[in-house]
């Protein structure tokens, strides 16, 4: 980096540092660009060489301060005794560290929470050439996307999901830390964890069957498909046998009935002939 570039970077950092002090101490609305330039030892016109307006400067400040907290949180997670287990564990651990940090730095919380949104983060990420903090934010977001996919979540808009979690933590954490409202942070933290868990579960895909379960199911289906024709064939055979028996029974019954009718007719004829023979005279025909 040349001396000119170093000088520009120093001026930019001076504007950011003095602006942050002014925003925190006298408020964003009461701070003017002239105030920021004067406290930085620069002309007012120099301010516009680095930022469009004080809102642009504020957004970068929020992104830088947030990135610093995220970076510290990631460093802390890497050395913690218990390893991270998946996306949910990662996000909850980050939330715990950040809230604990902000409890010790309430002025920073006051500044960040009033201006925090994923839009600010995305704006900072897009300005990678101008904002060193964007590299940390970009790395955090890339890790988030990788964990989202690796843990079998399906989300059409990952930015919106992260925005929801960021805004939830920011808004609820601000009230609990600054005013113990509606309760202390210690009392609220389990509810916050549970809410984040439910949000993430809404995007989790059903667990896939393991290989043994899949093999067993496939074998059962194959056996069922092979057994079906045999069962149908057996049923057809039973039906045919039953019909054959019914036909034989019907034929036997019909033959018996004809035999009985013949016997009855013969008996009647035989009985009639002796009676005619026994008469002393012939009957008139």
Same domain, 14 and 76: no
| In-domain check, residue 114 | yes
- Record the tokens describing residue 102, joined without a space: 């902000």
CATH number, domain with residue 129: 1.10.357
CATH number, domain with residue 18: 1.10.10.60
- 78-115 per-position pLDDT tens digit: 888 888 889 999 999 999 999 999 999 998 888 887 66
Same domain, 153 and 85: yes
State the Cα–Cα distance between residues 81 and 228, nearest whole angstrom. Answer: 58
Half-sphere exposure of 155 (CA within 13 A, CB side): 24
Of the candidates 66, 70, 64, 71, the one whose C-alpha atom is nearest the C-alpha of residue 13 is 64
| In-domain check, residue 46 | yes
> Domain residues for 4?
1-51
- Record the tokens describing residue 157, joined without a space: 């808009």
Same domain, 29 and 116: no
Helix (H, G, I), strand (E, B) or coil at 182: coil
Instruction: State residue 118's pLDDT score.
Output: 57
Q: Considering 201, 232, 256, which residue would you say is the last residue of a domain? A: 201
Same domain, 46 and 179: no
Residue 140 in contact with residue 97, Cβ under 8 Å?
no
Task: Classify each residue of 181-200 as buried b or exposed e, where b means 16 or more C-beta atoms within 10 Å of its C-beta.
Answer: eeeebeebbeebeeebeeeb
Same domain, 154 and 174: yes
What tens-digit pLDDT sequence spans the chain (285 residues)? 788 889 999 999 999 999 999 999 999 999 999 999 999 999 999 999 999 999 999 988 888 888 788 888 888 888 888 888 899 999 999 999 999 999 999 988 888 876 665 555 565 555 544 555 555 567 778 888 889 989 999 999 998 898 889 888 988 999 999 999 999 999 999 999 999 999 999 999 887 644 455 556 656 666 666 665 555 566 666 666 666 666 666 565 555 555 555 554 554 455 444 444 444 444 444
Instruction: State residue 134's pLDDT score.
Output: 54
| In-domain check, residue 245 | no
State the Cα–Cα distance between residues 180 and 192, nearest whole angstrom. Answer: 15
Instruction: State residue 21's pLDDT score.
Output: 95
- 178-219 per-position pLDDT tens digit: 999 999 999 999 999 999 999 999 999 887 644 455 556 656
Same domain, 99 and 42: no
State the Cα–Cα distance between residues 271 and 276, nearest whole angstrom. Answer: 9
Number of domains in the chain: 2
Whether cis (ω within 30° of 0) applies to the bond prior to 182 is yes
> Which residue matches tokens 């802390």?
76
279: phi then psi, degrees, rounded to nearest 5: -75, 145
> Which residue matches tokens 């940390």?
136
């Amino acid at each position: 980096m040349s001396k000119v570039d170093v000088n520009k970077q120093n001026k930019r950092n001076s504007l950011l540092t003095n602006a942050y002090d002014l925003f925190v101490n006298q408020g964003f609305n009461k701070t003017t660009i002239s105030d920021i330039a004067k406290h930085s030892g620069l002309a007012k016109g120099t301010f516009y060489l680095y930022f469009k307006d004080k809102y642009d400067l504020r957004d970068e400040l929020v992104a830088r301060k947030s990135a610093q907290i995220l970076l510290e949180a990631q460093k802390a997670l890497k050395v913690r005794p218990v390893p991270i287990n998946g996306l949910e564990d990662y996000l909850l651990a980050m939330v715990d560290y950040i809230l604990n940090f902000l409890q010790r730095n309430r002025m920073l919380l006051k500044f960040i929470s009033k201006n925090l949104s994923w839009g600010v983060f995305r704006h900072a990420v897009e300005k990678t050439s101008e904002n060193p903090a964007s590299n940390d934010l970009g790395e955090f977001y890339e890790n988030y996307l990788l964990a989202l996919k690796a843990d079998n979540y399906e989300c059409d808009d990952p930015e919106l999901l992260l925005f929801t979690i960021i805004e939830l933590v920011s808004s609820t954490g601000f009230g609990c830390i600054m005013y113990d409202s509606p309760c202390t942070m210690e009392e609220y933290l389990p509810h916050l964890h549970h809410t984040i868990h439910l949000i993430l579960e809404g995007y989790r895909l059903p667990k896939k069957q393991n290989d043994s379960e899949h093999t067993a199911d496939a074998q059962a289906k194959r056996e069922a498909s092979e057994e079906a024709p045999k069962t149908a064939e057996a049923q057809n055979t039973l039906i045919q046998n039953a019909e054959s028996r019914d036909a034989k029974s019907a034929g036997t019954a019909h033959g018996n009935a004809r035999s009985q009718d013949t016997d009855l007719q013969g008996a009647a004829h035989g009985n009639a002939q002796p009676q005619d023979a026994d008469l002393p005279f012939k009957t008139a025909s």
